[in-house]
């Protein structure tokens, strides 16, 4: 029985390249899952010039939709950095992402941003998310990033709570894809104001990785958990 030969057409010349099961081509004679791995990324302006093709007995019997090779950001992680003090209370967290290629510099044509959606809130924090703005897109190769979650002390005059959902999205200049939810970048940010004794208020600010949706963008859970309580 003759094998079906699977190969890539269009590789090189800025279009990108890849291997199929570790080689330039694969030969199959039954249903099989093929492992594709990018070698050279597609250059900006050269999107969708690659195709997988299937040849049998010298005849082309099938071809894939066009595609590109590009590393993308994923796996958002947070850790504690510092407390927010002075006229506000909250936490500053460290934030990082990884490349699906395991090499951060491969993300040099990608950028990411946050999407944050607040709940209505209760008590002193009812409506506290109104007017909140997302960060702008920034280079996905950025390191040393922080995210600040602070609340004005002037608001903390009674008990209350508010929850925000956060998902990170990315743009990829190699493929032209925009506003794509990044894998494993879902987080929940909670602020809870309690009153352990008369006239004494405490705010607990927390951020934890969860599978969630924000502004229509969904992602599985990021990693890390930060929670700190502060006297007002």
Q: What is the pLDDT of residue 133?
A: 79
Copy the structure tokens of residue 219. 């992602």
DSSP state of 79: E
**Per-residue pLDDT tens digits for 91-131:** 999 999 999 999 999 999 999 999 999 999 999 999 998 87
**Per-residue pLDDT tens digits for 21-33:** 999 999 999 899 9
Find out whether 160 and 122 touch, Cβ atoms under 8 Å. Answer: yes
Whether 63 has a pLDDT exceeding 70, the answer reads yes
Copy the structure tokens of residue 129. 């998310």
Distance CA 65, CA 74 (A): 24
At 135, the pLDDT band (50, 70, 90 cuts) reads confident
């Amino acid at each position: 029985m003759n094998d079906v030969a699977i190969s890539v057409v269009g590789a090189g010349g800025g279009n990108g390249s890849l291997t199929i099961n570790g080689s330039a081509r694969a030969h199959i004679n039954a249903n099989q899952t093929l492992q594709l791995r990018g070698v050279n990324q597609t250059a900006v302006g050269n999107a969708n010039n690659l195709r997988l093709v299937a040849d049998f007995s010298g005849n082309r019997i099938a071809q894939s939709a066009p595609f590109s090779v590009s590393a993308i950001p994923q796996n958002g992680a947070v850790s504690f950095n510092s407390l927010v003090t002075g006229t506000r209370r909250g936490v500053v967290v460290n934030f990082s992402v990884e490349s699906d290629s395991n090499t951060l510099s491969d993300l040099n044509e990608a950028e990411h941003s946050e999407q944050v959606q607040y709940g209505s809130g209760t008590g002193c924090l009812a409506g506290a998310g109104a007017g909140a703005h997302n960060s702008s897109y920034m280079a996905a190769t950025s390191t040393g990033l922080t995210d600040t979650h602070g609340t004005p002390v002037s608001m903390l005059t009674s008990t209350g709570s508010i929850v925000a959902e956060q998902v990170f999205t990315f743009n990829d200049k190699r493929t032209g894809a925009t506003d794509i939810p990044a894998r494993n970048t879902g987080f929940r940010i909670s602020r809870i104001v309690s009153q352990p004794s008369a006239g004494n208020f405490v705010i607990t600010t927390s951020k934890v990785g969860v599978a969630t949706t924000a502004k229509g963008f969904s992602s599985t859970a990021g990693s890390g958990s930060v929670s700190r309580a502060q006297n007002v």
